[in-house]
Amino acid sequence: MTTQVAETGHDDHAHGPAKGITRWLFTTNHKDIGSMYLIFSLIMLFIGGSMAFVIRAELFQPGLQLVEPNFFNQMITMHGLIMVFGAVMPAFVGLANWMIPLMIGAPDMALPRLNNLSFWILPFAFSMMMVTLFMDGGGPNFGWTFYAPLSTTYAPPSVTFFIFAIHMMGASSIMGAINVVVTIVNMRAPGMGYMKMPMFCWTWLITAFLLIAVMPVLAGVVTMMLMDIHFGTSFFDAGGGGDPVLFQHVFWFFGHPEVYIMILPSFGVVSQVIPTFARKKLFGYHSMVYAIIAIAVLSFVVWAHHMFTVGMPLAGELFFMYTTMLIAVPTGVKIFNWVSTMFKGSMTFETPMLYSIAFVILFTIGGLSGIMLALAPVDFVYHDTYFVVAHFHYVLVPGAIFGIFAAVYYWLPKWSGKMYDEGLAKFHFWVSFVGLNLTFFPMHFVGLAGMPRRIPDYPLQFADFNMIVSVGAFLFGTSQLIFVFILIKTLRSGKAAPQSPWESAEGLEWTIPSPAPYHTFATPPKVD
C-alpha cells in the first residue's frame, strides 16, 4: 500500500489548536481527544494500581493487618472496575482516536463533537463511582461482576451511584464505538478497500461492533438492579419468580464480549508492530481478519462458561464447554500467523517489538490456561480460585496492557515528534516483564492448591507464594513510574523524530510529518 499524495498542508480553514483550557474542553480534534483519553487512562491505571497495592499489601502475610474485610472487598471491586472501564477501554479508544483517522486517511473522526462528549462523560462517571468510597457504608463491595443479590438487597446504599456511573460509562462507550464504526465505514480514503485496511482498524471495527451490541445489555442489567433495589421488582428474587442466576446470564452476555473488547485492539497493535520489526508483511492477512470475525461471533455464545458452577442443566454445560473450546481455533490461527510473520524475517528488537513478543508469549500462556478453564468438569475445581485470577491477568496485563505499551512506544514519535529513550524503555520493559511474571505466575500454583479468590486472609499453606506474588506486584506497579518518567523525558527533551522512525513501517500514518500536524488529510490521500 503506497500513497500517491502525502497531503500535509492545511489552509486558512484549518487552524492550529486553540489556546488555554478551552482547547481541551471544547475540542473536536481527534488527536486532542485521543491524547485526553490516553492521559485519563494513565491516571486511572495508577489509581487502579494503587488499589492493587492495598490488596497485595494485605495479602502479603496471612492475618488481617492493614484493612478490614469490607474495605478489602471495596478495593477488589474498584480495582476491577477501574482497570476495565477506566484504564484499558479508554486507552484503546484513545489509540483509536489518534490512529484510525491517520491510518485510513480521514480528516478526523466522523462525528467530532460526539467524540468529545464520549470522552468528557468519563471523568464525571468515574468521579461519581469513586466518590462512593467516601459515602456512608462505603463503596461497591460486591466484586466487579456485582452478582445479585449481594449487589441488590445486600448492597451498601451507595450502589445507586454505582449504577448510574455504569450507565454513564456505557453511554460513553456506545457513542465512542458508533463513532469508530462510522469513521471506518464512511471515511476511508479513496482506494482503501476493507481488505486493504491496516489490521488495527479491522480489530477496532469488530471491537466497536461488540461494544454497540453489548453495552446496552449492561445498561439493561444495571437497570434491573436499580428496579429491584428501589422499586420492589423481583428479577433476581425467587420469591417473586425471578432468579439470581438470571443476573449472571445477562451480565456475562455483556461480560464475555467485553473481555474480547479488551483484547482485540491489542491484537491489532501487535499485528502492526510485528511486521514492522520483522521487516516482512503480516502473514495471512485474510485469515487474520476472518479469525477476528470468528472470535467476535463466537463471543456471543460462550458466556455461561463463567458460570459452570451455578448448576446449569447438563445440556447447557456441554454446549458452553464446546463453544468455548472452539474459540481456541481462531485464536490459535492468530498466534500461528504472528509466529509465521517473525519466521524468516529480519528482526530487530526495539521496545514496541519487545512488548509485542512478550504479548504473544504471555497471551498464549493465558490462552492455554483458558483452554483448561473451558473444560467444565475441571472448572469445578478451578472456578473462583487464584487459577482464574492468574488466567485473566495473563490475558489482560500482557494482553491488553502490553499491547497498549507497544502501541505507545510505536506511535509516540508520531504523536510527539520526539524519540523516546530506547535504553530506558527497554529497562521499563524488562522490569515490567519480570514483575508481571513474578506476580501472576505463582497465582496458578496457589489457585490449583486451593486458594479462593476475593479473600482478605488465607490459610497458612498459601503464605509463601502470596508473599512472592506481593513482591512481584510491588515491583510491577513501581516499574510503571519508569514509564511516566520516559513519557515526560520524551516530551521535554527527546530527540526529534523523523517522519518514519522505523525502518520498514508501512501505512498512511508514516506519510505525514512527525509530530502529526493538528489537521491531517483534510484532502484525502489516494491509495492504490
Partner 1 sequence: MGTHQEYYVPQQSHWPIVAATGIFLTLGGLAMVLSDMRQNQDMGLSLGVFLVGSLVMAYMFAGWFGNVISESHEGLYSNQLTASFRKGMGWFIFSEVMFFAAFFGVLFYVRVLSIPWIGGEGDKGMAHMLWPDFAAQWPLLVNPDPEKFPSPDAIIDPWHIPLLNTILLVTSSFTLTFAHHALKAGNRAKIKLFMLVTLALGITFLGFQAYEYMEAYNHLNLTLETGVYASTFFLLTGFHGAHVTVGTIILLVVFVRVLKGHFTADNHFAFEAGAWYWHFVDVVWLMLFMLVYVF
Partner 2 sequence: MLQNVRILSVLLAFFPALAWSEWEVNMTRGVTDTSAAIYDLHMIVFYICVVISIVVFGVMFWSMYHHRKSKGAEPHPFHESSTIEILWTIVPLIILIVILVPATKTLIQTYDTAESDIDIQVTGYQWKWRYKYIGQDVDFFSVITTPSDEIYNKAEKNPNYLLEVDRPLVLPINKKIRFLFTSNDVIHAWWVPALALKKDAIPGFINESSTKINEPGIYRGQCAELCGKDHGFMPIVIKAVTESEYVAWVAEQKALKQKEASASQKDWSMEELMAKGEEVYNKNCSACHQPTGVGLPPVFPALKDSPIALGPIQDHMDIVFSGKAGTGMSAYGEQLSAVELAAVVTYERNAWGNNVGDKLLPADVEKLKGGK
Considering only 342, 389, 412, 486, the residue that binds partner 2 (CB under 8 A) is: 342
Residue of 77, 331, 364, 416 marked active site: 331
CB nearer to partner 1: pick between 251 and 502: 251
d(CA 465, CA 240): 45
- Residue 230 near which of partner 2, partner 1, none (CB within 5-8 Å, type-dependent): partner 1
- Could you say whether residue 214 binds partner 2 (CB under 8 A)? no
Nearest alpha carbon to residue 328 among 285, 357, 295, 377: 295
- Could you say whether residue 377 binds partner 1 (CB under 8 A)? no
Considering only 63, 157, 459, 498, the residue that binds partner 1 (CB under 8 A) is: 157
CB nearer to partner 2: pick between 430 and 485: 430
- Could you say whether residue 44 binds partner 1 (CB under 8 A)? no
Nearest alpha carbon to residue 176 among 227, 128, 147, 210: 210
Nearest alpha carbon to residue 133 among 163, 167, 158, 155: 158
**Active-site residue, 305 included:** yes
Part in contact with partner 1 (CB under 8 A); list of ranges 20-28, 35-43, 462-470, 489-497? 20-28
d(CA 40, CA 90): 7
End-to-end CA distance of the chain: 6
Give the footprint of partner 1 on residues 434-493 (CB under 8 A): none
Give the footprint of partner 2 on residues 378-407 (CB under 8 A): 378, 380-381, 383-385
CB nearer to partner 2: pick between 132 and 172: 132
Considering only 24, 252, 283, 420, the residue that binds partner 2 (CB under 8 A) is: 283
Considering only 28, 53, 237, 506, the residue that binds partner 2 (CB under 8 A) is: 237
d(CA 225, CA 372): 33
Considering only 39, 47, 133, 246, the residue that binds partner 1 (CB under 8 A) is: 246
Considering only 2, 16, 23, 63, the residue that binds partner 2 (CB under 8 A) is: 63
DSSP secondary structure string for all residues of 244-256: HHHHHHHHHHHHH
Q: Phi and psi for 418 in degrees, rounded to 5?
A: -125, 150
Please report, as a single letter, which amino acid is at residue 25. Answer: L
Q: Is the peptide bond before 107 cis (omega within 30 degrees of 0)?
A: no
Q: Which residues contact 246 (CB under 8 A, 6 or more apart)?
A: 235, 236
CB nearer to partner 2: pick between 24 and 394: 394
Residue of 31, 280, 334, 519 marked active site: 334
CB nearer to partner 1: pick between 176 and 442: 176
Q: With contact defined as beta carbons under 8 Å apart, do 339 and 410 qualify?
A: no
Within 13 A of 398's CA, how many CA atoms are on the CB side? 30
- Could you say whether residue 226 binds partner 2 (CB under 8 A)? no
Q: Which residues are catalytic?
A: 79, 108, 144, 172-173, 256, 258, 260, 271, 305-306, 331, 334, 453
